[in-house]
Amino acid sequence: MANHKSSIKRIRANEKKRLENRYYSKTMRNALRDIRAIEDKGEATQKLSAMTAMIDKLAKKGMIHKNKAANLKSGLMKKINAL
């Protein structure tokens, strides 16, 4: 176990951040799954802007890599344009 006050605080902070990151990552994955399941082009187009904003925020925070964010957005746009 940690002996210094600062290391104990760091353990607490890391755990809090880990749970937060898990929440946002899972939320993004669920939203991606839901938008990919949509068959109506109008509905998918409406949800696309919210999804791209979510992906961009996660990339900005560093939770996902910027190239992964670009690939996710590109794939979504291809799928929606193909509907």
* Local structure of residue 62 (DSSP, 8 states): T
- Which domain range does residue 48 map to? 5-82
Task: Give how many domains the chain has, as a whole number.
Answer: 1
| Calpha distance 4→81 (Å, rounded) | 56
- The pLDDT tens digits of the residues spanning 10-59 come to 999 999 999 999 999 999 999 999 999 999 999 999 999 999 999 999 99
Q: CATH number of the domain that 54 lies in?
A: 1.20.58.110
Q: Give residue 2's pLDDT.
A: 75
Q: Which among 28, 38, 34 has a CA at the least distance from the CA of 58?
A: 28
